[in-house]
Amino acid sequence: MIIDKQFEKETFKKSVRDNVRFLFRKTLEEATPQQIFQAVSYSVKDVIIDNWLLTQKTYEEQDPKTVYYMSMEFLMGRALGNNLLNLTAYKEVKEALDELGINLNAIEDEEPDPALGNGGLGRLAACFLDSLATLGYSAYGCGIRYRYGMFKQKIEDGYQIEEPDNWLKDGYPFELRRPEYAKEVHFGGYVRVEYDQEKGENKFIHEGYQAVKAIPYDMPIVGYNNKIVNTLRIWDAEPIVDFGLDSFDKGDYRKAVEQENLARNIVEVLYPNDNHYAGKELRLKQQYFFISASIQAAIVKYKKTHDDIMKLHEKVTFQMNDTHPTMAVAELMRILMDVEGLGWDQAWAITTKTVAYTNHTIMAEALEKWPIELFSRLLPRIYQIIEEINRRFIIEIQNRYPGNYEKIKKMAIIYDGQVKMAHLAIVAGYSVNGVARLHTEILKNQELKDFYEMMPEKFNNKTNGITQRRFLLHGNPLLADWVTSHIGADWITDLSQIRKLAIYADDEKAQQEFMNIKYQNKVRLAKYILKHNGIEVDPRSIFDVQVKRLHEYKRQLLNILHVMYLYNQIKQHPEMDFFPRTFIFGAKAAAGYRRAKLTIKLINAVADVVNHDTSINGKLKVVFIENYRVSNAEMIFAAADVSEQISTASKEASGTGNMKFMLNGAVTLGTMDGANVEIVEEVGEENAFIFGLSSDQVINYENHGGYDPHVIYNTDGEIRQVMMELINGKYSNDTELFRDLYNSLLNTQSSDRADTYFILADFRSYAEAHKRVEEAYRDERRWAKMAMLNTACSGKFTSDRTIQEYVDDIWHLDKVKIDAE
C-alpha cells in the first residue's frame, strides 16, 4: 500500500489544527463538529490535490483516450470516508483523530450527502467513476451542480413531506471552482443563413439569443491505492450581463433581467422524478446547458494537444447516460460545422464514431419526447440540425424498406410534432446498450425491435455493477475485515477473488462468525431505528428489507399487502408457529406521484397498527426508514437478511440494490427480472427465493389486453380480506383514504387497466416464497450457508467488471499507470 507522507500522524494532526485556525480562527477545542469536518476534509484534500496534479501530468504525457460520462445525475454519497479508504489512509487518520479526541465516524456524519441524483441511474454513474479511477482510465464525469439536490424526506403523520436539500449551505470542501474554464451557452433567438461566396456553401449564424455563463466545479474522484485522481465536473450557471449601465443604456434592460433569471433558475434544483417524463421547459434547458458546456470543454481540451479534428474519436468518447444527454449529438454536430467549419458529412462521420448511448428503462412514461414547438424556440440551431439528421435517416428507412410508411412512423426522430430523444441517440450512437441481459433482450426483441433489425451491430449488453469499495469496505467494515482475514485483501480491487469464500460455506465456525457479524450489523441498524423511528425491533428477527425509489412497478404495495395478510394469519391462528419478522421499507416518492405517496402512507398506517398490537408479542414489526439515501443505505444493506427485489417481471431494467444486498450476505426474494436473473445464475436457484410470473408471461398478457384480477379476488378469500381492509377502516378512520390503491387493483372502469403490475396475479406465489424463507431461516446452518454463498458468488456484480466490458467493447480506452515514487 502507498500511504502518503502527509498522513503520518503528527503531520496530519498539525494540519488539522492549522486548518481549524486558518478557516475558523478557533482552537480545536472550540470548534464545532461541522468545523472539524471541514478542517479534516481540507487536510485530506491537500493530499488529493497533489495526486490530482500528478494524474493530470501523467495523462498529458501518455495522452490516453478519455471517456466523458455525460449524466444529469451523480448520486455520489459522502466523500470523506470513501476518499480516506481509497487513499488507504483510513486507519491512520482514525488513530490520529482519536489522539485529538475526535471520533472519525461522528465527523463523517457531519458531511452532507451530495444527492445530485434520484436513484439507480445516478448511483450507477457514481459507482462507474469509482471503478474508472481505480482501473486507471482517463475519465470525466460531466453533470450539473444543482443548488438543491434530491429533497429531504420527512414523515409526518405517516405522510411524506419534502424539504429542500441545501447541501451547499456550509460550503463543500471537496469541490474546486474553476472559473478559468467557464463556457458560454446560448438559448433562444433565431438562425440566419448566409451564403459564403468563396466557399460556395451556406453558413448558419445564431443571433438574438440569451447567454448564460457555465462555471465548472471539479470534484476529485480518487482511485483505490493507485495515485489516480479523476474529475467529476459539474456546472454552475451565472448571468453574463449584470445590471451594468451598458445594457441599460442600450435599452437592453429587459434582456439583462431575463438573462439574470435564466442563469439563476437553470441549476436551481434536481427534478425529483424517476422514470417519469414531464416535458418541463426548464429541464430541457438544464440538458442543453450542461451538454453544451461539457462538449465545448472537451473539444477545447482535445485541440490543445491535437490538430486534426477528424481524429477526435481516437481520443474522445461521449457516453450518454440514458436519453437526458442526447443533445450531445446535435451539439457536437453544431460545433464541428459552425465553429470548426466542417461540412455535414465530415461532422456526421466524427459524431457517429464518438457518441454512445445506454438505455436504463423500458417504462413508456420515461421516454423523452419534446414538443417541436418548445424545442425549436429554445434551441433553434440544435433543432435545425436534428431536422436534417431526421431527413437523412428517413431516406435511409425508405431505401431499406421501400413503401413501408409504418416503419417511418415508428422510427422517425421527429414525428407527430415531437422529437424522440431515444431515436436520435440510437441513430447517431455507435453503441446502444442495455443494463442487464434480460433488459437488453427485451430492447432487441420488443421495445427497439425495428432499430435492432436495421442496425444490429450497435446493440450490446453491459450488465450493471456496484463498487465493493463503498458497499462493503466502507459500509460493512466488520464483514470487510472478516473477508480479508480469510482470503486476503485482493477482493478490494478484484472482486472475483471473493469466490474463495465458498469453501467456508459449510464450515461451522465460519458460519457462526459470518452470522455473528450480520447480527452486530442488525444491532447497529436496530439502534438507528430506535433513535429515528422510536420503534424497538428485535435483531434476532428476520430483517426483510425493501429499499429503493417508490414506484408502482417496484411493487412496494405487494410487500405491504402481504404484511397485512401475515398479520391476519397471526391474529387468526395465535397458536401458529411464526418466526418473528421485521419488515423494513425505505423509499422516496416523486413529489407529484400521488399513488406512490399514498403507498407510503399505507405502509406507515399498517406499521402503526401492527407495531402497537401487544397481542402479537412483537412477532411482526414494520418500519419505514425516513429519508433513504446513500449514507443510511450502506448501513441497511449490511444488516439485511432478505433482499426484496419484487418488480413486475420485465419492468426493472437491472436493479443495483439487489447486488449491494447480495454482496453483504442477504438472500434475494425476487422475481425473474432485471439482474436478478443473473444473480440467481451465479448463486444458484437453491440460494434465492424466486416467485411470480416470468417476463414472457407478463409481456404476453400485456399484448393480449391484460389479465383479470377479479377471478383471484372472487376465489381467494384471504386476498379478498386484505383488499377489503384497504377500504373498511382497519388502517384508517377515513375509509376512503386508500380507495385509490384498492381501485388500482380492481377497477376496470377507469382508463387504466386493472392491476397493471400483476400484484394480485403474483400474490400467492409471493406468499409461498415467504413461507420458504421462514422455513430456511429456522435452520440456522442452512441459512448461514445461503447467506455466505451469496457473498461468495457476488463477484460478477462489481462495477469494475462492468467498466472493463465498456472499455473492451465500446470505449477502447488506454490503461494508465502512475508509478509510486
Binding residues for ligand 26V (CB under 6 A): 118-121, 124, 271, 273-277, 322, 360-361, 366, 368, 435, 464, 652-656, 674
Active-site entry in 88, 656, 798, 802: 656
> Rounded to the nearest 5 degrees, what angle is found at the Cα of 636, between the Cα atoms of 631 and 640?
160
Of 147, 186, 334, 360, which one is the catalytic site residue?
360
Strand locations in 340-466 (E): 355-358, 369-371, 414-415, 418-420, 432-434, 459-461
Residue 275 Cβ, how far from ligand 26V at the closest point, in Å?
Answer: 4
Q: How far is the CB of 127 from ligand 26V (least distance, A)?
A: 10
Q: Which is nearer to ligand 26V, 174 or 806 (CB)?
A: 806
Query: In angstroms, what is the minimal distance from the CB of 464 to ligand 26V?
Result: 5
Is 756 catalytic? The answer is no
Shortest separation between residue 381's beta carbon and ligand 26V, angstroms: 24
Locus of grid cell 487518520: 93
3-state secondary structure of 344: helix
Does the annotation mark 781 as catalytic? no
Distance of CA 491 to CAs 84, 92, 125, 472, 820, Å? 18, 21, 21, 10, 21
Of the two residues 296 and 323, which places its CB atom closer to ligand 26V in the complex? 323
Of 499, 562, 597, 660, which residue is the catalytic one? Answer: 660
Active site residue 554: yes
- Phi and psi at 677, nearest 5°, equal -55, -45
**What are the CA-CA distances from residue 662 to residues 234, 336, 369 (Å)?**
32, 46, 36
Closer of 120 and 429 to ligand 26V (Cβ):
120
CB of 675 to ligand 26V, least distance (A): 7
Is 621 known to be catalytic? no
Establish whether 449 is a catalytic residue. no
Q: Please give the biggest Cα pair distance in the chain.
A: 94
Phi, psi of 621 (to 5 degrees): -130, 145
Nearer to ligand 26V (CB atom), residue 24 or residue 553: 553
Nearest distance in Å: CB 431, ligand 26V: 15
User: Quick one: 128 or 137, whose CB is closer to ligand 26V?
Assistant: 128
Distances (CA, A) of 518 to 513, 541, 641, 774, 786: 9, 12, 8, 17, 13
Q: Is 656 a catalytic residue?
A: yes
Q: Which of 78, 183, 548, 629 is catalytic?
A: 548
Find the residue with minimal CB distance to ligand 26V.
Answer: 120
Contact 583, 544 (CB under 8 A): yes
Q: Which residue has the cell 474529475?
A: 231
Contact 796, 595 (CB under 8 A): no
Closer of 471 and 738 to ligand 26V (Cβ): 471
User: Nearest approach, Cβ of 671 to ligand 26V (angstroms)?
Assistant: 13
Choose between 526 and 690: whose C-beta lies nearer to ligand 26V: 690
- The active-site residue, picked from 549, 555, 597, 770, is 549
Choice between 65 and 276, CB closer to ligand 26V: 276
Beta strands in 223-363 (DSSP E): 229-239, 316-321, 355-358
**Is residue 435 a contact partner of residue 460, using CB atoms and an 8 Å limit?**
no
- For ligand 26V, the closer of residues 80 and 653 by Cβ is 653
The tally of CA atoms less than 13 A away on the side-chain side of residue 658 is 33
Shortest approach of ligand 26V to residue 331 CB, angstroms? 19
C-alpha count within 13 angstroms, C-beta hemisphere, residue 594: 6
Q: Nearest approach, Cβ of 631 to ligand 26V (angstroms)?
A: 20
The helix or strand, by DSSP H or E, that contains position 624, with its residue range, turns out to be strand 620-625
Three-state DSSP string of 473-516: HHCCHHHHHHHHHHHCCHHHCCHHHHHHHHHHCCCHHHHHHHHH
Let me know: does 532 contact 630? Beta carbons within 8 Å. no
Q: Return the number of the residue (205 or 278) whose C-beta is nearest ligand 26V.
A: 278
Q: How far is CA 445 from CA 357, 440, 453, 459, in A?
A: 18, 9, 9, 11
Phi-psi region of 136 (alpha: psi -120 to 50; beta: other; left: phi over 0): left
Provide the minimum distance between the beta carbon of 361 and ligand 26V in the complex, in angstroms, as a whole number. 4
3-state secondary structure 550-572: CCHHHCHHHHHHHHHHHHHHHHH
Q: Which residues pair with 461 in a beta bridge?
A: 434
Active site residues: 360, 548-549, 554, 656, 660
